[in-house]
Structure 1
Amino acid sequence: MSLPEGLGAWAELPFFQDGSLAAIEAKIAEDSRTILPPDHQRYAALELTQPDATRVVILGQDPYPTEGHAHGLAFSAEPHVQPLPRSLYNIYRELRDDIGTAPDTADLRPWAKQGVLLLNTVLSVPEGEANGHKTFGWQALTHQVVTKASEQPTAFVLWGRQAQALEKYITAGDHLILKTAHPSPLSANRGFFGSRPFSKVNDWLTSRGETPIIWA
């Protein structure tokens, strides 16, 4: 099978070479439901943030299972989506408390273009069934991406236990690793609110002589 277009240097990962992708695509083909996000957006996070440009990694779970919402970036949704997805609403609440402002829409592609890799652990979902493809094998890709990203100093933002379980794939280096509760309404009050991850990331970047992220 041919590789998705636009992967750039990510295409060198074993996942895209050893048959892992073909096995997942076969499982997706057998699922007669609407699969989200659309095929052409499935790898948007990797396409928009190449390995050498990755400065921050924020890990999500799987795409939003509502048609028209997911577009391939963790926590992000199409600009027209209102009300905001609940976790993103809480992310923006913390962002306002942290730096005083937040984006006007649900679209986080401006973050990705500044080197913030917004990667879901699972890259596909059947409409209406969150975690519906969690057993398909996507995690192998996430593990490899995290390891690749950690070849250079990177800020890893690990919200919740599922993301924190991937810390073991971060190779040793001069990284910033932030771990708190997930921004979901079920857990945000257990340590996500008040954690100030956005200013901490920018303080770390600035200390390294790098340009801070424009979060809004």
Structure 2
Amino acid sequence: MIGYTDFAINGRLPSILAAFHEALPAVDIDLIRRDSHEQLEDLASERLDMGFLTGAVNGKELQHCCVHQTPFVAVLPAHHRLAALDAVPVKALAGESFVLGEIHQWRHLVPQIQALCLEAGFMPRIAREAPNSDSIFGLVAAGMGVTLYPDCHLNYDRPGIVIRPLSDSDTKLTTEMAWLNSSTNPAVYRFVEITGKLLEQVSASE
């Protein structure tokens, strides 16, 4: 069983799964969408074999490695005053209403967004909280606020919003692959091996 976040499934996880299936087509993979903190709990209790989650990963019982880093972008209502810019400075969002994920479910991401804003000199004013990515984008499209979001191959044709790179920040979101040191599942170690080879190929091509 493999857990994943929205960011993982919109990032490098699909290519990793494809590489594993090509190498070991007889091995079935069960996937479950879980928040990062839930994955850490499920890994510790052996309800998951592997997790793809937002770092950082703590715990001596876990092995982990970075599989993807992606920059943050500004997500704005289509008619927002900053939408005409090619790139948006984070500091220009001071005073804006923000739409963020619910802190309980998004506890690994919201603090990173807050820290990004603090670096620009302000604390984001949270006007709305949403349970998932689609809800966040829907609320932004409705003009309820703006947000900062990892640029995980987002669909730039989403109606009602515009997505702009940040001009004054190179902060990135890290997606980690984690597994138990004590795992007795041989497929876990083959998965780690195949993932490592794929990441080496990606790194060499960049």
* TM-score between both structures, scaled by the size of structure 2: 0.25
- Structure (1 or 2) with the greater helix fraction: 1
Which protein, 1 or 2, shows the higher relative CO under an 8 Å CA cutoff with sep ≥ 6?
2
- Structure (1 or 2) with the greater strand fraction: 2
